[in-house]
Chain A
Amino acid sequence: MLPLRLQPSDRRLGETLQQLGRDLRTVFDGWRGRPAAPFTLRDARAGGRPAPAPGPDLGAREVEVVERIQECADAVTLVLADPRGGAFEYAPGAFFTLLLEEGGEELRRAYSASSIAGRVDRLALTIKRVDGGRVSTYLNDQVKVGDRLRLLGPSGAFTITPEAAAARRLVLIGGGSGITPLMAMIRTLLEVEAATELALIYGSRAPSAIIFGEALAELAARHAGRLHLRLVVDDAEGEAAWPGGIGRLDREGLGRELAALPWPKEQVDGFYVCGPEPMIEAARALLRDLEVPEERRHEERFTAPQRRAQAPTRARAAAPVKIRRRGQAEAATVIVGPGATLLEGARAAGQALPFSCAMGGCGACKVKVIAGEVAMDEPNCLSAEERAAGYALTCCGAPVGPCEIEVA
């Protein structure tokens, strides 16, 4: 053994001597009037405590921006690809949810795909700038090619299943950014269904605000006779030769446009309406008056994300939630943490629940509340009837206290 290596007893002696030194110093400091500081300052971050657990993992996939297309002054199309080479599979009309982090807060926004649908390598989402909208402003102004985003979806029931053999006549009515899902339908159906004809009534604020103006004109030219374009603007901005309609797509304006369709209403296989609420209401009333059967009427409402409000009654404390699954005798109980949604709490506890858009827009996560109360962020896509029947959305609903839910 090397002479320098300490024997255990030597080490023990060393420790004792060190302790003796500290003891003497302490006593000496006391007599000198220099006692130890009575307290130490503590910093939450200096404590070495791990950062709070990251937001619940909803299984979002990471995608990369591979192209930016400026559609007009206030709308951009982001073309996304999976950096690991995976495909996107969705029906025309579907939307996706982008998850962005800002200041520790996770923001979720839904954007419709505008690209040709099916099983594809590239997915285009078109984002209209919303005044004061944090996410849309960021996506319009700052996102660059090469940036990574997190994506959920596809979601939504406002879709068409393309069939090569189909020969349909469809009327698409869009307003503002409501053109986006219709654009995916146009691109896909013109490509896949050779015998299908489409008529688009598209309302915008002004010619400069028209999204996909050039792309639509190009498609109409390429598929002559199969895409009837009718662009309507509130204000032609002094364009003397504006070829489209002028005026709002309200009951009167939209009524005029419907009367001018190239086909009698009986020959129309479906009406697809997407846009702001007043336009949707006008379309709903007109189509009802025209006695268009309900199964041929489809609509999608867009809610401005900045108007979404988190439920103020989200539980301040953790709440136990019993999850019952139809057809199973045993219920599982999970603890949903303060401020978390039912979906987040269940996933954190390893309980899978159905969901899709995770922002109250698609209804995929609808459950029945059997006991207790669930507060929901507003607005969301639940109808008044569904609410009255005790349904709630787990993605934007949080327990107010202990509760029990039933999953279909």
Chain B
Amino acid sequence: MDIARLTNLLPQRLRSQVDAYFEAVSVLAEIRDPKVLRSLGPSGLRGLILHRGKQGVPTKIQATHRAHFDWTYPADNAEMAELYRRAKQGQWDADTALDWSTDVDPLNPEVPLLPASFVDFDDLANRGIRLSGADQQRFLYAITAWMLSQFLHGEQGALFAAAQVTEAVQFFDGKLYGATQVMDEGRHVEVFSRYLDDKLGRLYQINDNLYVIIDALMSDGRWDMKFLGMQIMVEGLALGAFGTLYRQTSEPLLKSLLRNVIQDEARHVHYGVLALREHITKELSERERQERENWAFEVALLMRNRFMAYEVYEEWFEGTISRATWREIVTSLPGMREFRQVMFSRLVPNLRAIGLLSPRILPHYDRVGLLQYMDGAAADELTAEGMLADLDRAA
């Protein structure tokens, strides 16, 4: 069905809404595994149709996981104990580790938040959007603030998920480690919200697709699904996004903020790989494993295709260009291409490491062009220093 031809017949204000609904339906329609659809469907409805994250009131999501107590306090996972030790050493205080006195002028072209090359302004002009120099600066500012706002929302999800996973995980060493991750995520919420409040002065609403993922993780009672979603998928997304911004920004406070955050995130993904590898390869039945494999694939697609920054579209171009045109623009932004590249080069090897890239799913990854990332290093083979060095080299 050609959505554009259909919606073009409608008045402007209805056109966007119809497009949004078609998009929501197609997100869910693309899910092939009925179990995955059952798990993501209600969250999709709440996020994409009801915009629960944008209703202007706190959102309540019922958690259903079970806390796992162990009164014998076993030393049950040496690698997790080692991560715990490293996490304790790696704590930092945002008050003192970052220079908050840095004067940030989001519109100063001398110290750009993002370089003009993040957006291909010539391509935009070809599509009829001509922005003056000042408007280009404002647009880059909006994109940066939007990205950082999504980071912040993602970190809130990570904070709660880390706490839930700490309750549910069956390794005691994992629980101790988990406590440090809760602290880490709290700190990340602190630094991103402080940066947005103090330096950029605006906060974008949560993206509906990000809401869907967070909602699905929060309401899923199975601890390994939370784990998979948060520690592998969302953290992988975060590493991709943080890495891209870290590489491209010239703003010194933001750069050092991201550097600190990336070092924490590297531990988080590593932990996810440790915990899930055991569980997925040894504890789960093949059917259960397949469900998770399918779920991860669908979420990977969601992350690749659906972070369209519609919030920026609504601010800048609603009524000027169609959502379909905007999607094309966002998809082809050089900065977004790099973001996807960094994200999947981290994510795909991790999925392989935890046993969720079996031969049966490979053709699907191949079909959507994600197989090229198969041979990268997984999180347990990578150090934070190594990851930052990669980014610094590429910069």
* A interface residues (Cβ-Cβ under 8 A, vs B): 15, 19, 22-23, 26-27, 30-33, 35-44, 47, 49, 52-53, 316-318, 335, 337-339
Contact = CB atoms under 8 A, between A and B. Distances in A.
B153 to A, nearest CB: 12
| A interface SS class | loop
A36 B52 CA distance: 11
Contact of B96 (A35, A37, A47, A338): A338
B54 A30 contact: no
B395 to A, nearest CB: 20
B256 A42 contact: no
A52 B197 CA distance: 14
Contact of B16 (A22, A33, A40): A33
B14 interface: yes
Contacts of A38: 204-205, 311-312, 314-315
7 contacts: A36-B54, A38-B204, A38-B311, A42-B201, A47-B197, A52-B95, A337-B95
Given A22-B57, A36-B55, 6 more contacts: A36-B51, A38-B205, A38-B315, A42-B200, A42-B202, A317-B99
Of A39, A43, A337, the most chain B CB neighbours within 10 A belong to: A39
Nearest to B256: A317
B101 A339 contact: yes
B97 A23 contact: no
Nearest to B142: A39
Contacts of B196: 42
Contacts of B63: none
* 7 closest Cβ pairs, A-B complex: A33-B13, A318-B96, A38-B311, A337-B96, A36-B54, A44-B198, A39-B204
Given A33-B14, A40-B203, A26 B197 contact: no
Contact of A31 (B14, B50, B203): B14
Contact of A39 (B12, B99, B315): B315
B382 interface: no
B54 A26 contact: yes
Contact of B203 (A15, A27, A39, A317): A39
B49 interface: yes
B55 A26 contact: yes
Given A22-B55, A26-B50, A39 B194 contact: no
Question: Which of the four size classes fits the interface of chain B?
Answer: 35 or more
Of B96, B98, B315, the most chain A CB neighbours within 10 A belong to: B96
Given A33-B13, A338-B96, A26 B202 contact: no
Contacts of B197: 42-44, 47, 49
Interface in B314-355: 314-315
Contacts of B99: 316-317, 338
A43 B201 contact: yes
B60 interface: yes
Interface string B216-230: 000000000000000
A50 to B, nearest CB: 11
A35 B203 contact: no
Nearest to A19: B60
A350 to B, nearest CB: 15
A27 B54 CA distance: 11
Given A39-B204, A338-B99, A33 B149 contact: no
Nearest to A345: B96
B93 interface: yes
A39 B141 CA distance: 13
B149 A27 contact: no
Of A32, A36, A49, the most chain B CB neighbours within 10 A belong to: A36
Nearest to B55: A22
Of B93, B197, B201, B202, the most chain A CB neighbours within 10 A belong to: B197
A318 B149 contact: no
Contacts of B55: 22-23, 26, 36
B50 A23 contact: yes
Nearest to A36: B54
A53 B203 CA distance: 25
Contact of B17 (A31, A42, A316, A339): A31
B128 interface: no
B388 interface: no
Nearest to A315: B99
B33 to A, nearest CB: 27
A33 B54 contact: no
Given A23-B50, A26-B54, A317-B256, A338 B198 contact: no
Contacts of A316: 99
A32 B311 CA distance: 17
Nearest to B18: A31
A134 B222 CA distance: 65
A47 B195 CA distance: 12
Contacts of B100: 52
Given A316-B99, A317-B97, A27 B50 contact: yes
Contacts of A49: 194, 197
Given A36-B56, A317-B256, A337-B96, A41 B202 contact: yes
A36 B16 CA distance: 14
Contacts of A32: 13
A40 B93 contact: no
A335 B60 CA distance: 40
Contacts of A31: 14, 17
B145 interface: yes
Interface string B177-199: 00000000000000001101110
Contacts of B302: none
B36 interface: no
B256 A40 contact: no
Contacts of A40: 202-203, 205
A36 B54 CA distance: 6
Contact of A335 (B16, B96, B194, B203): B96
B210 to A, nearest CB: 14
Contacts of A47: 193, 197
A36 B314 CA distance: 10
A53 B95 contact: yes
Given A33-B14, A317-B256, A338-B101, A41 B201 contact: yes
A32 B17 CA distance: 9
B20 interface: yes
B203 A26 contact: no
A368 B51 CA distance: 62
Contacts of A317: 97-99, 256
